[in-house]
Amino acid sequence: MSPDRLASLSHFVFMPLPNFTLIAFSNAIEVLRMANHLGGETLYRWTLVSPEGGPVHASNGLSVETRHADEVVSADIVFVCGGTNVRRETSAQHLSTLRRFSRSGTVLGSLCTGTYALARAGLLSGYACAIHWENLSALKEEFPQTRFLKELFVIDRDRVTCTGGVAPLDMMLNLISARVGSARIAQIAGQFIIEHVREASAQQRMPLIARLGSANKSLFEVIALMESNIEEPLSREELARLAGMSQRQLQRLFREHLGMTPTHYYLTLRLRRSRELLLQTNMSIMHITMACGFQSACHFSKSYRDAFGAAPTRERRQAAPLEAQV
């Protein structure tokens, strides 16, 4: 989507499905509310709709009042908000409403499992999109004309799709930045105690068991050992001994299920932890080096650059302008 069209978005419409996830829904709206509050003017307005109007219940039992969707003559962007049992809760009326908005040229989006409704309505064919990791594999099979990515959110032309939980905060902050500017985004992030606003390239952290399914239980035991020993990494010999297997078995286990050696996977875990500390704390590079089990700052910097394409000092500098304004 072009910066001009992003900047033109001001009327947001949300269509919650029955049993929608309240946290994703409210996080999205709160960004708009805070933008208005800090700006001292109504930059954004939002409308809640459903095919028949009236209350729609969230998965936690609370409800929101909606207007009849036909009452909304124009909207800049419409988000369908999903939650639990999305297949059952997506009705023919929901699909018809989404198609009507699409015919009018409205930008369409989704929160959490709402991506399913867009796909089922035939409105994501040829698009890339995001959806909560629990639904990722199944929908890839069901809708082969759609590219389901692991990113937190995806903006592909006139489609804006987002995963659940707190990810809509990051998505909305990125979405409105073209209009309100980076300084205001930093202020909003500060109000919400957000130290680092994630970009569209950020990926969901899918639990390993969700990716591997019924993989060997011993693999998860070894990985748990790794995750508990980041600052002082265990040797391959120690990992094998504590897991009750030979080093050869350990090597084979990781290659079969993860396509890499235990050493490589362990390094990846430590580098991922170091990046979180680098972008989300004020710890010095040297302290991060030690906290993540690296023997020297030079070794850490080279490993970090090989993994993420930039040295840790450079990546921290790039994030500094946002943090400085919070």
Which of these, 220, 214, 267, 222, lies nearest to 244 by C-alpha position? 222
pLDDT of residue 23: 94
**Range with lowest mean pLDDT among 33-37, 292-296, 312-316:** 312-316
141 pLDDT higher than 90? no
Which of these, 262, 233, 259, lies nearest to 247 by C-alpha position? 262
Mean of the per-residue pLDDT values for the chain?
Answer: 88
Which of these, 68, 73, 67, lies nearest to 104 by C-alpha position? 73
- Could you tell me the pLDDT band of residue 98, with boundaries at 50, 70 and 90? very high
pLDDT of residue 323: 40
Q: What percent of the chain has pLDDT over 90?
A: 60
Greater pLDDT, 112 or 320 = 112
Query: Given its phi and psi angles, is residue 58 left (phi above 0), alpha (psi -120 to 50 degrees) or beta?
Result: beta
pLDDT of residue 211: 55
In degrees, rounded to 5, the angle at the alpha carbon of residue 122 between the alpha carbons of residues 3 and 11 is 40
Quickly list DSSP for 263-275. Answer: HHHHHHHHHHHHH
pLDDT of residue 280: 64
Sign of the dihedral defined by the CA atoms of residues 318, 321, 323, 324, in that order = positive
pLDDT of residue 150: 82
pLDDT of residue 193: 83
192 pLDDT higher than 50? yes
Query: Given its phi and psi angles, is residue 53 left (phi above 0), alpha (psi -120 to 50 degrees) or beta?
Result: left
Neighbours of 275 (CB within 10 A): 17
- Could you tell me the pLDDT band of residue 137, with boundaries at 50, 70 and 90? low
pLDDT in tens, 32-50: 999 999 999 999 999 999 9
Neighbours of 1 (CB within 10 A): 17
pLDDT of residue 66: 96
**Range with lowest mean pLDDT among 47-56, 70-79, 126-135, 237-246:** 126-135
**Domains (range + CATH), the chain:** 3-191 (3.40.50.880), 208-325 (1.10.10.60)
Cα(197)–Cα(325) distance, integer angstroms? 13
Beta bridge partners of 203: 151
- Could you tell me the pLDDT band of residue 149, with boundaries at 50, 70 and 90? confident
Neighbours of 28 (CB within 10 A): 23
Question: Please, are residues 49 and 66 in contact by the beta-carbon 8 Å criterion?
Answer: yes
Beta-carbon contacts of residue 276 (< 8 Å; ≥ 6 apart): none
Which single residue is written with the structure tokens 């929901």? 94
Q: Where does the chain have alpha helices with state H? A: 3-8, 22-39, 86-89, 92-103, 114-120, 133-142, 167-180, 182-191, 208-212, 217-228, 236-243, 247-258, 262-280, 285-291, 297-308, 312-325
Greater pLDDT, 227 or 78 = 78
